[in-house]
Structure 1
Amino acid sequence: MHKTKLLLWQHIWEHRQTGPTIYNIIRKVSTKWVGYTWKTTQTMTGHGNKKAYYDRFHLRDDIDTNCEHCGTYEDLDHATIHCNEQRLNARQLLTNRLATIQKIYPPTDIDTDNKQLVSWINQWGEAIIHDENDD
């Protein structure tokens, strides 16, 4: 039964109309926790503090759903792929955080499994969903 449900879930995952951004990163479904942070999950699923999320679920009526940098509707794809300004800001924030982290935790040679990839994706998620309280 468990295997059948996993196969069905995998089939749905491969043929769904939404979520192509996440599918490009995670191609195989699993019941095991990979290690993604809350912010990474929010970023990859299009939830969190992105304007499109508030608009989609009608959580706030007072929010302008356009990107403050270029005026385009701000959703996950826009923030992570299309908007150069947001990507530059996220990249700079990520670079600053990595510099701080590496002073405390020097990089290691962990390339034997997905730990390096999960770590990088978590850092990306942290950079995209930035809270002022994090500073």
Structure 2
Amino acid sequence: MSHVILTLFILFFLFQIGAFAKKKGEMKNTHNFSLQWPLYLYIFTVMISLTIIFALIYFVMSFSTPILIDSNQGTVMKDHDFAEMIYYSGSTLLSIGYGDLNPIGPIRYISLFEGFLGVVTPTVIFVSEVNKNLKEN
């Protein structure tokens, strides 16, 4: 059942991206974005890129020492896979922080920085785009 729900979510998500991309031409008449594609797709791409970059950092750091505690079981996780790192990175970047995985050691500071970037990056992109539009008008 969960695979069906996940498949439907992915199809819906891809449909939405296609619909947003289709609106690109229509948005040129009402919005003066200097980007070649809609702003939300730009922010989405930057956030996905940051998630993957930090997941790679976490994954490489996990080779030498355990970096996460499974709070549900209260144990240090010794074997990490890349999917876990994507999940942890995404929940950290989006400041969701479910609490099921907690960083230990120096990775805590990298996680803090990632959380900071998750809040600041979309804001900076959005504000800079709005300021460009205000200066052009």
TM-score (norm 1): 0.30
Higher strand share: 2
Where relative contact order (Cα < 8 A, 6+ residues apart) is larger, the structure is 1
TM-score (norm 2): 0.30
